[in-house]
Amino acid sequence: MEKYVLGFAFNSAKDYVVMIRKNKPNWQKGCLNGVGGKIEEGEIPATAMVREFEEETGVKTNELQWIYLGTMGNSQWICHLFTTHGDDLMKAETRTDEEISVYPVEEITKGDYRMISNIPFLIELCRDADRPQKVSLTYAE
């Protein structure tokens, strides 16, 4: 089973979000997504989220900054969903071959952006994470 993390980082007012324009895998190429990636052998999801965010954005965070919201997946993959907020996160910039940008939430969730179909839902879910909640989304095989 493939294991991943996905995080949505907002400014303190939660009206801007850090997004990445994916080059890979092919089915995501050109689409906007949250920041994340594969969990390495022996790594826990929160540590992977911190590592992936720094590798892709250049912004250092720590495990306590990320709020764990739950999982999504099927029998072949699982993705651990995280969120965080803080104005320092808006210093994110491109560090890999995939472009990092900061977008107004209202624009990105209602605008004409190419993204994976569940991203507007996940952005709103993560933005509203101050209330205690955990999710488990199962996708068809």
The per-residue b/e assignment along 50-61, b for 16 or more CB within 10 angstroms, e otherwise, is bbbbeebbebeb
Tell me the average pLDDT across 97-112.
91
Whether the CB-CB separation of 38 and 56 falls below 8 Å is answered with no
> What are the pLDDT digits (tens) for 17-58?
999 999 988 989 999 999 999 999 999 999 999 999 999 999
Domain ranges of the chain: 2-138
Please say whether the beta carbons of 42 and 120 come within 8 A. Answer: no
Q: Is the CATH number 3.30.420.40 carried by domain 2-138?
A: no
* pLDDT digits 0-9 by tens, 4-13: 999 999 999 9
Q: What is the pLDDT of residue 138?
A: 66
- pLDDT category, 134, cuts 50, 70, 90? low
Round to whole Å and give the CA distance between 76 and 99.
28
Smallest CA-to-CA distance from 10 within 35, 39, 43 is with 35
CA-wise closest residue to 70 among 61, 79, 60, 62: 79
Nearest to 120 by CA among 103, 140, 134: 103
Q: Would you tell me how many other CB atoms lie within 10 Å of the CB of residue 16?
A: 21
- What the block records as the tokens of 15 is 């009206």
Give pLDDT, residue 137: 59
Looking at the predicted structure, is the pLDDT value of residue 141 above 60? no
Q: What pLDDT does 133 receive?
A: 61
